Amino acid sequence: MNFIGKFLGLILGWKFGGFFGAIFGVILGHWGDKKLYELGAVNSSFFNRKLTRQSLFIQTTFAVLGHLSKSKGRVTEDDIQLALQLMSQLKLDDANRRLAQDAFNRGKAADFPLRQVIREFRIGCGQRADLVRMFLYVQVQAAFADSQLEQSEKDVLFVVAEELGLSRFQFEQMLAMEFAARQFTRAGGYQYQQHQYQHQQSGGAYQPHSGPTVEDAYKVLGVNASDDQQAVKRAYRRLMNENHPDKLVAKGLPKEMLEMAKEKTQQIQAAYDLICKAKGWK
């Protein structure tokens, strides 16, 4: 993030208010740096214009959604309704809605340059790990809207993850975490199990079950049942910090996606609470 505002605030604050003026100046400068970062324009050769980071996030999201939909062979009415539903959920105004629809349609093209678009997105986001992971989280949620993951969709998601800097292991771990996290927001959702996942690669589906389990909770936090309380708490705090809605918005997450970020932290909190209850931890 820029530091010019903090530097100028320090100098001017010290000059006109001494020590306490310098502190106040740094605080104001920090706020100014955040606003400049949020509103700062970034280049995009694919969208052919300078965009704010928030606009880049939204348009890239819908372009990749279009590409995911097309990867299954053809874009169905359900795919279109999913995109429209997400636009409504985000409460996009007419201008942003048109941009999102255009991005979705461009993503469906056979020559859609997925790797180029994701590289430019990553650069535009300042390569911030927490922000790009939230972007991938949105794509995974969309791919699982029909409660199963086609191999073609998984292949697209891996390309996205790879361009965002994730290894194959990190990608598989993230999928496992996200599959399990769905149990904490969907009653009667779909349980992820390794043997079911292998079956899915040859066309099988995930099997329904009654709700979240302790095993799901471990996967959400990326920990093992054998981990002690300190290790689990450390993982929980790290995930809560990485997915803090206000911090993500300050780094470029569109305010329209604030509710999705809140849902993510609620899943993490619910998983941690379930583990603590099962273990008898205070």
In sequence order, the β-bridge partners of residue 50 are: 43
Which residues lie closer than 8 Å to 13 by C-beta, 6 or more apart?
21, 22, 23, 24, 25, 26, 28
> What letter does residue 74 receive in the DSSP assignment?
S
> Cα–Cα distance between 3 and 26 in angstroms, integer?
10
| Domains of the chain in sequence order | 9-166 (no CATH), 214-279 (1.10.287)
Which pLDDT value is given to residue 111?
93
> Cα–Cα distance between 21 and 77 in angstroms, integer?
60
Strand 49-52 versus strand 41-44 pairing type: antiparallel
Q: Which helix (H) or strand (E) holds 166?
A: none
pLDDT in tens, 198-239: 334 434 444 444 567 888 899 889 999 899 999 999 999 999
> Cα–Cα distance between 192 and 216 in angstroms, integer?
8
- Alpha carbons within 13 angstroms on the beta-carbon side of residue 183 total 26
pLDDT in tens, 134-153: 888 888 877 877 667 888 88
33: pLDDT strictly greater than 50: no
Q: List phi, psi (to 5°) of 207.
A: -95, 135
Task: Answer for the pair 147, 205: CB distance below 8 angstroms, yes or no.
Answer: yes
Which residues lie closer than 8 Å to 116 by C-beta, 6 or more apart?
45, 46
> Cα–Cα distance between 221 and 263 in angstroms, integer?
15
> Cα–Cα distance between 245 and 164 in angstroms, integer?
20
> Which range, of 8-12, 14-18, 183-187, averages the lowest pLDDT?
8-12
Which pLDDT value is given to residue 192?
31
> What letter does residue 243 receive in the DSSP assignment?
T
107: pLDDT strictly greater than 70: yes
> Cα–Cα distance between 153 and 190 in angstroms, integer?
18
Residue 111 structure tokens = 């020559």
279: pLDDT strictly greater than 60: yes
Question: Would you tell me how many other CB atoms lie within 10 Å of the CB of residue 266?
Answer: 14
